[in-house]
A and B are shown apart, each in its own frame.
Chain A
Amino acid sequence: MKALLSRLVLVAATLWLTGYFVLTAGRLWANPDFVLAVLPDKVRALENVPGERLVLVGGSNLTFGVNSRELSRLCGRPVLNTALHAGLGLDFPLWLVGQRLHSGDIVLISPEYGVYAPNPDVMAQALLFLPKGLEYVDERFPASDAFRFRILSMQKAAAALHQRLYLAIGGPESWPRRQDFSPEGDMLGHLDRPRPAGSLQDFQLKPTDYSPALQIIDQFQALAQSRGARVLYAYPVACESFVRSNRQTIEIQEQQLKGLSCPVINRPETDAYPDEMFFDTVYHAGREARDLRTRSLARAIAPYLPGH
């Protein structure tokens, strides 16, 4: 028995070392052009852009659906689009922003409908590019989940090494890529691409209890207030047919959002545009919808700007 136990311990230690090696290698050699590799760029912008800013937080409806340069011109302050992927959830992006808030900042939160919890796969992949995020995982999750995230992140490292190898032997580059983003953090790569066939598959939102999201936003609002910053909430940009077919579920969320401690600056219909103005999903605005949404957001934000 002693021999068995000692060998099992040895195998476990070797496995741990292998995992550590793969994780380190994955961090070093992960494809720097991969879309989630833009996350550290966004964090750097948050740290480096001085003054009173307009910080956008949400999922890909903001990534694809805002012209930050134009919004900056209309609002008269720098705009930082930190939005990337709904799979990062709501709490993690707010945690990243919360640590880098300036007095006078306005934070606009605009997540997709019913989305607030992170997708572990996306989170683990993001942690590969932003290892600092592990502090968030340790802070907010029970030890068993934090352990699971580490294992997942290590698996993503193995996948990243596989992708690098695949690219090296001539495999096609995935899309979107890091270089498809503007310095402000907007996705630009889709603007000149043809709309993929069979896109905009309609899906039905499941009625979800949105109160955990409200709690996350309220906590962030309290933090922002203590730092002299302001928080606003906006419904996402989405195609009309989707908003229409999910009206009932959206109404439930609307009711719940009435309890929010920060102002809600628009209605679900405000930024619902014709389906043909969207790119590949119901939330990914094309050029025209993006421009309309930018102007609509500027109008909705205006009353909250100092000196209005």
Chain B
Amino acid sequence: MDFHSLPYLLFFSSVTVIFFVLPGAWRTLFLLAVSSYFYASYIPEYLSILYLIATIDYFAAHWIERSEGNRRRVALGVSLAANLGLLSLFKYSTFAVENWNGLTPEGLRFDWQNNWALPIGLSFHTFQAMSYTIEVYRRNVQPERSFWTYALYVMFFPQLVAGPIERPQHLLPQLHAHHGPQAERILRGLVQMAQGYFKKVVIADRLGPVVDGVYYHPQALDGMPLLCGTVAFALQIYCDFSGYSDIAIGSARVLGIELMTNFRRPYLAHSVSDFWRRWHISLSTWFRDYVYIPLGGNSVDRMRWARNIMITFLLSGLWHGASWTYVVWGGLNGAFLLLERRLPRLPAPLWCKRAVTFLAILVTWVFFRARTFSDAAYILGNWWHQPLFTLSRALRTHMGLTLYDWHVLGAALVLLFWVESREERSAVSFPEWVVRQPAAKRWTLIYLLLCTLLFWGKMNSSQQFIYFQF
């Protein structure tokens, strides 16, 4: 059940109505039941794995609380091994075997391939589950007494399949608090959902064919179409993933639960480190808190700090997928960050810093999206080839979109830029700004936003959210 489908809208509306009608004590169980149903709508068999891992972590957390010294570490180890073992088995085993076979002589090779479908959102919910046992181990949170509430913490449907990756301190207390329906909060949630849908079905899904056309067989193209395809991917992945996050955050808000912010206008970043403070915040703070800082963070000598940065970014790359292209993507981001710290600060205007940052991020996206290193190398080596000639050719062919689609895309991107610039200047989110407007203006804005979805939204799109595969 994809967020951008009619069944989800029907599901969500029914869940919201029943949720507010039910007495507070029943709501946790109800949300757990509908979250299980939501997850089972993808691959029902995997629901048992999710419950198994939740059970292990639930008991491991209580074991950690009761234990001291080595036993405490063992209990944490059991939880981490279960989560990482599951993640490795499904996501990395084939990759590991392929690499092993590539490096070893004939007799030592394995003839094994994992043909199982990857459980939806595996990397997200295992990381969220691990943050719980780690925080219990660090004595930052008490273990959750109710198994059902803990299971809901792992499985809460708006953020189950692609985050934001929540922390127990933030989410668990909210699962205990029961609010009545609050009109202002519900409206803010609905506007945020609409904003997410706008990014996904108006922009990201429209850019999909352009990106696919370029990255399916880049060698068939040269020059500006390669650059245009990569810029399109940068916009597509942002609108797709931040759109998903907006829908998740908005859905949860309607139900009275605040999820953490996951994106803060990343393409307005003025440096690579600033970009990482704005992009997929729930994952980058996860790596900061559970990998980078435990390694020593920046309170060590320069060499070790550089090592910490690189380890964190390489792992972040690997988190995205079992492929060396993702690892290189992570490594490049780490390298750019190190380079940025080494370079002297030049008194350049803000727009110039933003442009350079965007270009650096664009280079990294090539490795993220390309299927092979040779594709990535070809794109990077050829995107400035005969710029004027190749641009005019790309404009003539419309790069696989109709002229109407380009006009819609142009208008939608202008709107997105306007919203994000306004948010950047005022530090007030768009949904909050909308609900603060006088009634006539507020409802006109909502009507216009819904009109853009109705008339411009790609209704026949079979494109899943990109981050579902992670």
A163–B6 touching, CB < 8 Å: no
Q: How far is the CB of A237 from chain B (nearest CB, A)?
A: 26
Chain A residues lying within 8 Å of B446, measured Cβ to Cβ, are 11
Give A153-198 interface residues, CB cut-off 8 Å to B.
Answer: 154-155, 158-159, 162-163, 166, 171
Number of residue pairs A-B, CB distance < 8 angstroms: 51
Q: Is the CB of B183 within 8 A of A148?
A: no
B: contact size bracket? 20 to 34
Given the complex of chains A and B, what is the CA–CA distance between A302 and B152 in angstroms? Answer: 70
Q: Contact: B6 with A166, CB < 8 Å?
A: no
- From known contacts A148-B6, A155-B455, infer whether A121 and B447 are also in contact, taking CB-CB under 8 Å: no
Question: Does B447 lie within 8 Å of A1, measured CB to CB?
Answer: no
Q: Which residues from 450 to 466 on chain B have a C-beta closer than 8 Å to any C-beta of chain A? A: 450-451, 454-457, 459-460
Which residues does chain B contribute within 8 Å of A121, judged by CB atoms? 460
Across the interface, do B451 and A152 meet the contact criterion of CB distance under 8 Å?
no
Is A133 an interface position by the 8 A CB rule?
no
Does B186 count as interface, using CB distance less than 8 angstroms?
Answer: yes
Residues of A close to B451: CB separation below 8 A: 15, 18
Whole-angstrom CA separation of A113 from B183 in the bound complex: 55
- CB pair A162–B460 under 8 Å, yes or no, is no
CA distance A148 to B9 in the complex (A): 13
Does A43 have its Cβ within 8 Å of any Cβ on chain B?
Answer: no
CB-based contact B404/A7 at 8 Å: no
Counting CB contacts under 8 A, is B187 at the interface?
A: yes
Asked if A120 CB lies within 8 Å of chain B CBs, one says yes
With A1-B183, A4-B183, A154-B455 in contact, is A147–B403 under 8 Å at CB?
no
Q: Is A151 an interface residue (CB 8 A)?
A: yes
Contact partners of B183 in chain A: CB under 8 A = 1, 3-4
Contact between chains at B454 and A148 (CB < 8 Å): no
Residues of A within 8 A of B186 (CB): 4
- Chain A residues lying within 8 Å of B351, measured Cβ to Cβ, are none
Residues of chain B from 404 to 453 with CB closer than 8 A to chain A in the complex:
404, 407, 443, 446-447, 450-451
Q: Cβ of A159 and Cβ of B450 under 8 Å apart?
A: no
- A46 contacts the other chain (CB 8 A): no
In the complex, A152→B446 CA distance in Å?
Answer: 21
Residues of A within 8 A of B173 (CB): none
Contact indicator B403/A151 (Cβ below 8 Å): no
Task: Judge whether B387 is part of the interface by a CB distance below 8 angstroms.
Answer: no
B3 to chain A, nearest CB (A): 16
User: Contact mask A62-95 → B, CB, 8 Å, 1/0?
Assistant: 0000000000000000000000000000000000
Quick check: B404 and A163 within 8 Å, CB to CB? yes
A154 engages B443 (CB within 8 Å): no
With an 8 A cutoff between CB atoms, is B7 at the interface?
A: yes
A19 on interface, CB distance cutoff 8 Å: yes
Q: Do the beta carbons of A15 and B460 come within 8 Å of each other? A: no
A11–B190 CA distance with the chains assembled, in angstroms: 13
B187 touches A148 (CB 8 A): no
Residues 125-155 of chain A, each 1 if its beta carbon lies under 8 Å from chain B, else 0:
0000000000000000000100110011011
A contact residues around B450 at 8 Å (CB): 11, 15
Residue from A14, A22, A120, A144 within 8 A of B460 (CB atoms): A120
How does the 8 Å CB contact mask read for B174-189 relative to A, with 1 for contact and 0 for none? 0000000101001100
With a CB–CB cut-off of 8 A, which chain B residues contact A10? 443
- What residue in chain A is nearest B439 (Cβ atoms)? A7
* Complex: A3 Cα to B182 Cα, angstroms: 12
Contact B459 A144 (CB under 8 A): no
Question: Roughly how many angstroms separate A124 CA and B455 CA in the complex, as a whole number?
Answer: 13
Indicate if the CB atoms of B455 and A152 lie closer than 8 Å: no
**In the bound complex, what is the Cα–Cα distance between A158 and B460 (angstroms)?**
16
Q: What residue of chain B has the Cβ atom nearest to residue A123's Cβ?
A: B460
The chain A residue sitting closest to B182, CB to CB, is A1
Measured between beta carbons, the chain B residues less than 8 angstroms from A155 are 454-457, 459
A60 to B455, CA, bound (A): 29
Instruction: Quote the shortest CB–CB distance from A152 to chain B (angstroms).
Output: 5
CB closest chain-A residue, reference B442: A7
Which positions 12-28 of chain A face chain B at CB distance < 8 Å? 14-15, 18-19, 22
Contact residues in B for A1 (Cβ distance below 8 Å): 181, 183
Known: A11-B450, A159-B404, A163-B404. A4 touches B455 (CB 8 A): no
Q: How far is the CB of B179 from chain A (nearest CB, A)?
A: 12
Interface centre among B403, B446, B456 (most CB of A within 10 A): B403
CA distance A18 to B452 in the complex (A): 12
Q: Chain B's nearest CB lies how many Å from the CB of A229?
A: 34
Chain A residues near B404 (CB, 8 Å)?
159, 162-163
Q: Which residues 300-347 in B have Cβ within 8 Å of A in the complex? A: none
How distant is the Cα of A238 from the Cα of B93 in the complex, in angstroms?
44
Contacts known (A3-B183, A4-B183, A22-B455); A11 close to B447, Cβ less than 8 A: yes
Complex-state Cα separation, A18 to B450, whole angstroms: 11
Instruction: Give the residue of B190, B454, B459 whose beta carbon is less than 8 angstroms from that of A15.
Output: B454
Max count, chain A CB within 10 A of own CB: residue among B186, B190, B459? B459
- Is A148 a contact of B459 with CB atoms below 8 Å? yes
* Complex-state Cα separation, A195 to B451, whole angstroms: 41
Q: Which of B190, B403, B454 contacts A19 (CB 8 A)?
A: B454
Tell me the bound Cα distance from A166 to B39 in angstroms: 45
CB-CB under 8 A for A11 and B455, given A144-B6, A163-B404: no
In Å, the complex CA distance between A18 and B456 comes to 14
CA distance A11 to B448 in the complex (A): 10
Whether the pair B403, A166 counts as a contact (CB closer than 8 A) is: yes
Closest to B449 in A: A11
Q: How far is the CB of A209 from chain B (nearest CB, A)?
A: 18
The reply to whether B459 and A14 contact each other, CB–CB distance below 8 Å, is: no
Residues of B with C-beta under 8 A to A147: 6
* Residue contacts A-B, CB under 8 angstroms, 17 given: A1-B181, A4-B183, A4-B187, A8-B190, A15-B447, A120-B460, A144-B6, A144-B7, A148-B6, A148-B459, A148-B460, A152-B459, A154-B454, A154-B455, A155-B459, A159-B404, A163-B404
**With A15-B454, A166-B403 already in contact, 9 other A-B pairs whose C-beta atoms are closer than 8 Å:** A1-B181, A1-B183, A120-B460, A147-B6, A151-B454, A155-B455, A155-B456, A155-B459, A158-B455
Identify the A interface with B (CB < 8 A).
Answer: 1, 3-4, 7-8, 10-11, 14-15, 18-19, 22, 120-121, 124, 144, 147-148, 151-152, 154-155, 158-159, 162-163, 166, 171
Give B contacts to A, CB under 8 Å.
6-7, 181, 183, 186-187, 190, 402-404, 407, 443, 446-447, 450-451, 454-457, 459-460
In the A-B complex, the 6 residue pairs with the smallest Cβ-Cβ separation, listed nearest first, are A120-B460, A4-B183, A158-B455, A159-B404, A152-B459, A1-B183
